[in-house]
Amino acid sequence: MALLKIHEPGQTPLPHEDERQLAVGIDLGTTNSVVAISNDEKPEVLRDTSGGNAIVPSVVYYGADDDPVVGEAARDQINDNADRVVSSVKRLMGRGIADVKSIAGTLPYHVEVPTEDAEKSGEPMMVRLNVGDRVLTPVEVSADILRALRARAEESLGKPVEKAVITVPAYFDDGARTATKDAARLAGIEVLRLVNEPTAAALAYGLDNGAEGLYAVYDLGGGTFDISLLKMQKGVFQVKATGGDAALGGDDFDHAIAEHLLAERKSGGTTDDLDASDAKRLLKTARKVKEALTDADSTEITVSLGGSETTHTVTRAEFDAMIAKLVSRTIAITEQVLDDADILADDVKGVVLVGGSTRVPAVRRAVADLFEQDPLSDIDPDEVVALGAALQAEALTGGSDNLLLDVTPLSLGLETMGGIVEKVIDRNTPIPVAKAQEFTTYQDGQSAMMIHVVQGEREMVDQCRSLARFALTGIPSMAAGAARIKVTFNVDADGLLTVSAREETTGTEQEVAVKPTYGINELDMANMLRESMVHAREDMEMRLLTEARVEARRNVLAVQAAMNADRALLTSEDEDNIAGAIAKLEAAMSGEDRDLINEQAEALEDASRPFAEARMDARIRQALAGRNVDQVN
């Protein structure tokens, strides 16, 4: 720590008797996850106890009755127990059945489709996975991965870890963000902030190099593609524009190779009928081909399926051709984002590569061609996001000179007449943001209005993602067009949306935190929390106690600051009362009784009221006196 820190107003560190709690950065990836910690702005990844790998494969094995196994050990089960292994679950976060049907063929496990009855009942249509004898939601599987990362961090640091910055693809919609936060809750992790992956990567580079100017972050992971443009100036990282595809990544490269291998077998006379286990093994082989072709011009591989073995040679040129369409799609999206921000490729000072898939030479070449420069890659592309997240976790708990200003990745709007979307917040709007729009009734005496919140860029509602529906009821009887219904959208710094609606002439109000239709409903969430955390109640109590202490401490400091500022207005009687109340409050704060702390905080407020009033009176008199002088002049 620096010996002396000068703080701006509002930036003083939290006056807290407890020592700063450890906060880690977590890159919860489609294929791999990484956890890191930062001290004094020097981030490092946390490796397994044998000092080896930083990467934890995002793979979970659910054995018959044992606890879930996460990581390398789970991946080793793919060959023998394919139906008990879940991988790439991130692709399902916040996804509805309709989305999953479209990618179902690419998923190596069974997805449970709700019955028609359930569909009609309007129950949340969340995807469930049949894994061995269990039925699991993607949120629960992600929670198991997060638990493993938390355990690794605690083992490595030798201290409890309860707070984290978790990264999400910039292009994640509200549903997927909420699902990620839910997973963290299940794993007993308090999310300090959800940070966009490319932003985190830029942070890792920016701090190292003290860079100024425009940077592009090209992030091609296992399952998602993100491109972001950031402007760095005077310690502020401003996201200018962002875009991507939540279902495009290195896994698709694997599929392309797998299909190629199957096609070669077929033309050689072998017809394969793949089960889940075969598919997983074939994909594993395909990944090996991909990885080998990073350095080699060609590679030879043996495929063994259904008792028949075939040997194949795949050249880099063949591989490049297989993925050419996928790569050019990322380039087209990148050009769109450049246009959005009104930036030319030449204006970009540096290009940062993130994600294991950027090791593929064809990807590097395409990016280099577009920006006419060699991309930066001196930080390991698999670790850079977690390192940036760790820096942000440190900044949030310990203060920082740097600031991240992020934007909404997708437009948010409302359904209006005829199924047309009225945009309320455009994509690439800086967050947090609050925007209101007024609507009116279209029928005489209309007493309720459906509010349908959607996310996306298309003009028609059914082409956008539906986030929530709720009704504003109790609108008083008025002629059509007379009611004034103000709908306010609030997006917080995590990119999560809250919508409220208010009839302006009467004040009828309704508010919903947007729980996406595809998310977990509160009841299920509560049940899961109960099951997963025996100590949930105690944890909650502890949190409330900490909050009461923080609030009480702030109270004491505020009153003391006021006494120092306006000592002349303080009668000795008030001073004695206040001092007594502070002593009692501080005694209560050192105890465990939350109610007592709140009670004594109120008593302090009562004791200091006459003094506060005297300060207000004095200021008003002063202001009036000032005015008189003005008038005389």
Partner 1 sequence: MSNTGTSETRTAEQPQHKVCWSCKGPVEASALFCDTCNAIQPPGQLDHFTRFGLERTFLIDVDAIEATYLKQQQLLHPDRFASKSAREQALSSQQAATLNGAFETLKNPVARAEYLMRLAGHEPEGGEGHTVNDPALLMEAMEMREALHDADDRNAVDAMIKDTRKAARACEKDVAEALEQNAYDRAKKLTTRLRYLMKMTEEARAKKSRLAAA
CB of 64 vs partner 1, minimal distance in Å: 42
Q: Does 51 bind partner 1 (CB under 8 A)?
A: no
Strand pairing of 23-28 and 163-168? parallel
From the list 4-12, 83-91, 148-156, 203-211, the region that binds partner 1 by CB under 8 A is 4-12
Q: Does 616 bind partner 1 (CB under 8 A)?
A: yes
Marked catalytic residue, from 219, 382, 394, 406: 219
467 Cβ contact partners less than 8 Å away, ≥ 6 residues apart: 173, 174, 175, 412, 453, 454, 455, 497, 514, 516, 517
CB atoms within 10 A of CB 179: 26
Residue from the set 12, 130, 313, 315 that interacts with partner 1 by CB under 8 A: 12
Residue from the set 562, 575, 584, 599 that interacts with partner 1 by CB under 8 A: 562
Residue from the set 104, 274, 496, 612 that interacts with partner 1 by CB under 8 A: 612
Six token digits for residue 348 = 């970009």
Q: Does 545 bind partner 1 (CB under 8 A)?
A: no
CB of 12 vs partner 1, minimal distance in Å: 7
Q: Does 16 bind partner 1 (CB under 8 A)?
A: yes
CB of 611 vs partner 1, minimal distance in Å: 8
Q: Does 433 bind partner 1 (CB under 8 A)?
A: yes
- Nearest CB to partner 1, comparing residues 462 and 509: 509
- Identify whether 231 is a catalytic site residue: no
Q: Does 540 bind partner 1 (CB under 8 A)?
A: no
Q: Does 38 bind partner 1 (CB under 8 A)?
A: no
CB 392, CB 326: distance < 8 Å: no
CB of 434 vs partner 1, minimal distance in Å: 4
Marked catalytic residue, from 173, 174, 182, 197: 197
Q: Does 167 bind partner 1 (CB under 8 A)?
A: no
- Nearest CB to partner 1, comparing residues 263 and 403: 403
Residue from the set 31, 32, 299, 608 that interacts with partner 1 by CB under 8 A: 608
From the list 50-58, 293-301, 554-562, 586-594, the region that binds partner 1 by CB under 8 A is 554-562
Q: Does 463 bind partner 1 (CB under 8 A)?
A: no
Cα–Cα distances in Å, from 511 out to 278, 453, 516, 578?
A: 49, 12, 14, 40
DSSP H or E stretch at residue 354: strand 350-354
Nearest to 282 by CA among 252, 262, 267: 262
Cα–Cα distances in Å, from 440 out to 417, 477, 502, 505?
A: 11, 13, 11, 11
- Identify whether 630 is a catalytic site residue: no
- Nearest CB to partner 1, comparing residues 143 and 192: 192
3-state SS class at 193: strand
Q: Does 431 bind partner 1 (CB under 8 A)?
A: yes
Q: Does 477 bind partner 1 (CB under 8 A)?
A: no
Pairwise CA distance, residues 86 & 69, whole Å: 10
- Identify whether 339 is a catalytic site residue: no
- Nearest CB to partner 1, comparing residues 143 and 337: 337
From the list 115-123, 582-590, 591-599, 601-609, the region that binds partner 1 by CB under 8 A is 601-609
Counting residues that bind partner 1 (by CB under 8 A) gives 65
DSSP H or E stretch at residue 155: helix 138-157
SS (H, E, C) 270-333: CCCCCCHHHHHHHHHHHHHHHHHHHHCCEEEEEEEECCEEEEEEEEHHHHHHHHHHHHHHHHHH
Residue from the set 118, 157, 344, 434 that interacts with partner 1 by CB under 8 A: 434
- Nearest CB to partner 1, comparing residues 9 and 51: 9
CA 173 to chain centre: 9
Strand partners, 116: none
CA 307 to chain centre: 44
**Interface map 116-155 toward partner 1 (x if CB under 8 A):** ----------------------------------------
Pairwise CA distance, residues 558 & 395, whole Å: 25
Q: Does 559 bind partner 1 (CB under 8 A)?
A: yes
Residue from the set 133, 212, 339, 592 that interacts with partner 1 by CB under 8 A: 339
Residue from the set 113, 396, 536, 596 that interacts with partner 1 by CB under 8 A: 396
- Nearest CB to partner 1, comparing residues 36 and 191: 191
Count of alpha carbons within 13 Å of 110, Cβ hemisphere only? 14
Pairwise CA distance, residues 396 & 557, whole Å: 22
Six token digits for residue 186 = 């299940």
- Identify whether 219 is a catalytic site residue: yes
DSSP letter for each residue of 467-534: EEEEEE--PPP--TTT--EEEEEEE-TTS-EEEEEEETTTTEEEEEE---TTS--HHHHHHHHHHH-T
Residue from the set 525, 529, 550, 603 that interacts with partner 1 by CB under 8 A: 550
Strand pairing of 85-87 and 128-131? unpaired
533 Cβ contact partners less than 8 Å away, ≥ 6 residues apart: 186, 188, 539
Pairwise CA distance, residues 337 & 182, whole Å: 30
- Nearest CB to partner 1, comparing residues 500 and 555: 555
Give the position of tokens 């955390």.
533
Q: Does 502 bind partner 1 (CB under 8 A)?
A: no
Residue from the set 294, 308, 336, 463 that interacts with partner 1 by CB under 8 A: 336
What angle separates helix 174-186 from helix 138-157, to the nearest 10 degrees?
50
From the list 12-20, 253-261, 344-352, 587-595, the region that binds partner 1 by CB under 8 A is 12-20
Q: What residues between 175 and 214 interact with partner 1 by CB under 8 A?
A: 192-193
Residue from the set 274, 343, 405, 536 that interacts with partner 1 by CB under 8 A: 405
Q: Does 575 bind partner 1 (CB under 8 A)?
A: no
299 Cβ contact partners less than 8 Å away, ≥ 6 residues apart: 289, 292, 293, 313, 314
From the list 233-241, 288-296, 344-352, 588-596, the region that binds partner 1 by CB under 8 A is 233-241
CB of 565 vs partner 1, minimal distance in Å: 5
Pairwise CA distance, residues 560 & 280, whole Å: 65
Marked catalytic residue, from 90, 181, 240, 290: 90
CB of 454 vs partner 1, minimal distance in Å: 17
Contacting positions for partner 1 (CB under 8 A): 8-12, 14, 16, 192-193, 233-236, 238, 329, 332, 335-336, 339-340, 342, 392, 395-397, 399, 403-405, 429-435, 490, 492-493, 505-508, 547, 550-551, 554-555, 557-559, 561-562, 565-566, 605, 608-609, 612, 615-616, 618-620, 623
Task: Name the residues annotated as catalytic.
Answer: 27, 90, 197, 219
